Structures are given as structure tokens and as C-alpha cells.
Amino acid sequence: MKQYMRQILKLALGFLVMSSALTFVLFSIGKLRVNTEHSELLDRSYSNALRARTLFLITPTVNRYGQLAHITRLANTLRQVENLHWIVIEDGNATNPNVEAQLNRSKTKYTYLFAETNRTTLLKGRGVEQRNLAIDYIRSLKPKDGLVYFADDDNSFDLELFDVLRRTKYCGVIPVGLLAQLPFEDIDVVDDKVVGFFTIFGFDRKYQIDMAGFVVHVSAFYKDPVPKFYRTVMGGRLESDFLAQVVNDPSELEPIARDYDRVLAWHTKSENREAWTVDRIKSLYPDKWKRARKLIV
């Protein structure tokens, strides 16, 4: 009888242990599911908060062969982007009705302005008057938050770029593909700080970045003096001169796309050119490009 009771007691204890273990497993699974759902909810909330930030895209354009094709391609991209204000500035003494018709069809929030280029100088900087007019227009709106990005009409953009741009606190920088013979230009980053730039020209520039390679918070345009582009600056150096008015040192730039292994913005142009490989560039500029990564272009 005693032996029979001991067997029953062992079975009962075994059942209790198994029940406790099962309860713990079920509880852990439920907790994991709740934590996962909470994490996903936070991710969605973060993404929604980012997308609530207005993006002001400044696009200078000029009446030329292919203008409407470039505007159409860019419009088809931007119509898919939330909370975006596209500011298009025609180089001339009036707007172009064909461009305005395409802007209307895009269903994108836009403002279409015009400003004629001062062609009395031989300096090659382009889009100066047009970008400055757009900056003045944004200042007139007095936004408290928002980001300003310079998107030339012949550039190409991945839709993910616009979420990446919204990560910016003050002045963000990204790699840009297809510049001259380069497959891309990039930023040299050490310990999350910008320490240099991967390019093959204009090494004396303080900020060796393409116009499509940076984004600026609207608060920068409430400084005195207001950051602007200047006709007295040579072409190819407009970006560096402008950024020198926004930040004091390259270390203040934010490498907002370092978690991407591919380019999100391309300096596309309708011309034939031979692109160099990263290995070739490293062989030509071993010190400059020694830490350069290989991006998918």
C-alpha cells in the first residue's frame, strides 16, 4: 500500500512540475509576443513620426532638350512620397506652361517659381538664383520643423531615400552615385563621425559633397546671415561654400545612411561615360580611398 502511495505521489509531483514548466513556457511565449508587438508598434510609431516631418525639395530647372522628360520622371517618384513640398524654380523670366501642366498631373504639393540667371559673369555655378529664391520662399512659410533637400531635375532617387533624409537632426549627408567617372562619392566615417570624403577632385574643398549629398534642417535658414549660394563661387564649389555657412566642421555632419549598403541618390545625366571601379580608384588614390566601402550603385 505504501509503495502504491509513493508511486501516486511521484506521479502527482511529476504532473505539477510539468504543469509549472508548461505554464512558464506559455507565459514566456505570450510575453515574447507582447514584446514583439510592442516593438513593432514602436517601430511604426517612429516611422510615422519621421514621416510627419515635411520635406522641402528644391529643384532648379531650365527650358532645354529633355526638360519635360526629367520633370516627369522626378514627378513620378515624388508623387509616392508623403508630406512633401516640391519647390520648382524655372530659370527664366516666366514659368513654362508645359512644366506646370506636368506638376499639376503629378498630384504632388508644389510651388512653381521663376528666377532668371545673372549671365553677366563667366563663373559656372548653376542654379544659384533659383535655389536662393526657394530658400527665401521657405523662410516666408516660417516652418518650425522640416528638412530642405536640393534635388536637381535630372537626378534619380530610391523611395527609401526620403525616409532616410527625415532622420536628420541638423545637417545629414549621404553617398551619391554616378559622379563623373566615379561609381559613387561617399563619406569617410570613424566612430560615427565624418572625418573625410571619398572623391577624386576638389580635394581642397572643406566639404567634398555633391548637391544631392546633404540635407539641412529649416532652422539653419533662420541664422544671420542666412546660408545662401553665391554667384562669385566657382562651379563645383557651391556645395562646400554653402555647407561652410551651415556647420563649422565636417565632424558636425550626420552620416544618416551608414546602415545602407547601396546608393539611394544618383547624379544621373543623359551622356555616355566610363565608370571607374572602386579597386581602380583605390589604386589611383590609395590614401584617400583606403577605408572606402563598396556600395551597390
Q: What is the mean pLDDT of the chain?
A: 87
- Given this model, what pLDDT does residue 39 score? 46
All cell numbers assigned to 13? 509531483
- Given this model, what pLDDT does residue 235 score? 81
Residues designated as active site = 239
Below-50 pLDDT ranges, the chain:
22, 25-26, 29, 32, 36, 38-39, 41-42
Architecture of domain 53-173+207-252 in CATH? Alpha-Beta Complex (3.90)
- Given this model, what pLDDT does residue 126 score? 85
Tens of pLDDT, residues 89-145: 999 999 999 999 999 999 999 999 999 998 776 566 789 999 999 999 999 999 999
Tens of pLDDT, residues 243-273: 999 999 999 999 999 999 999 999 987 565 6
- Given this model, what pLDDT does residue 125 score? 75
| 48 half-sphere exposure, CB direction, 13 A CA radius | 6
- Given this model, what pLDDT does residue 29 score? 47
154 carries a ligand binding annotation: yes
The model's pTM is 0.83
- Given this model, what pLDDT does residue 52 score? 85
- Given this model, what pLDDT does residue 123 score? 61
